[in-house]
Amino acid sequence: MHHANHYYGHSYALARYCGLTPGDVPPRIHGYLQHGWNIGDGLAPDHEYVPGIGSFVWSERTRRRAWSMGRRRVHVTGAPMAYLLTLSSAPGPRDGTIWYPFHGWEGQHVQGDHDRLIAEITETEPGPVTVCLYWQEYRTAAVRRRYERAGFRVICHGYRGGWWKDLDPGFLDRQLAELLRHRRVASNRLCSAVLYGALAGCEPAVYGDPMQLHGERDLFGGRPRIRRQWAELHGKEVDPAVAHAIAVDELGADRLLPPAELRALFHWSSASAVAA
């Protein structure tokens, strides 16, 4: 099982949907699971993959891109967050904005003017504002305290996991709980979190300095293509109905599989199923 299948608790969420008891580690997914929204074939370009092994992508649009790039055995399963939404209860009252600044990762740090971004958030959002930082920025006190000093509630959904260590089964649950309590979701780049929020009923927005990663390359058309192809999702005020329809398409929320079919596709043994 590729270690990235565990990122953000994705494998745990899908195992729960399928009625399995994953224990410390979920059952092996026989293939590669898309772990974040992207504009390529659904797989991370910096990961190595075994030729001939199937991949499980979020949307039909992604499957077609993967096919055009020569990948075969590509299956549309939908995003784990979309499955988790089917298991959640109706949201309560919503208030304020949850804001996701563009973040770095272990291999690349983000570069940008956080103070400038804070000023634009303060000017745009009526509040209250929750800023969700990636674990890397959250642990960087100089970054975290800037947002705290601005009067924002600052949180982190947790560590995404990596190489079968520090796995976090509750990551997606915490993220969904936060999205369901906020009226708006925003970021300085179109990303998974904005699409998740739009699917969960938040009013989305994408604005502010997009920042960049150290040594960043614009793959598959990069930022210019994203702004051009998903122009309706950019701006401080976005039509929620249009955004929801796009999120359904990009996250494959209309392509979700029943538990038995997903178990068969992942080669998950029924012996792991919880007795009804």
Instruction: Write down the pLDDT at residue 214.
Output: 55
Nearest one of 76, 82, 102 to 212, comparing CA atoms: 102
Chain segment 45-86, per-residue pLDDT in tens: 666 667 778 899 999 999 999 888 888 889 999 999 999 999
Average the pLDDT over 109-133 and give the result.
Answer: 90
Nearest one of 114, 176, 162, 164 to 140, comparing CA atoms: 114
Structure pTM?
0.91
Chain segment 160-211, per-residue pLDDT in tens: 766 556 678 889 999 999 999 999 999 999 999 999 999 999 999 999 987 7
> 97-250 architecture in CATH?
3-Layer(aba) Sandwich (3.40)
Average the pLDDT over 222-235 and give the result.
Answer: 91
Q: Where are the domains of the chain?
A: 3-87+254-272, 97-250
109 close to 213: Cβ distance less than 8 angstroms: yes
Instruction: Write down the pLDDT at residue 112.
Output: 76
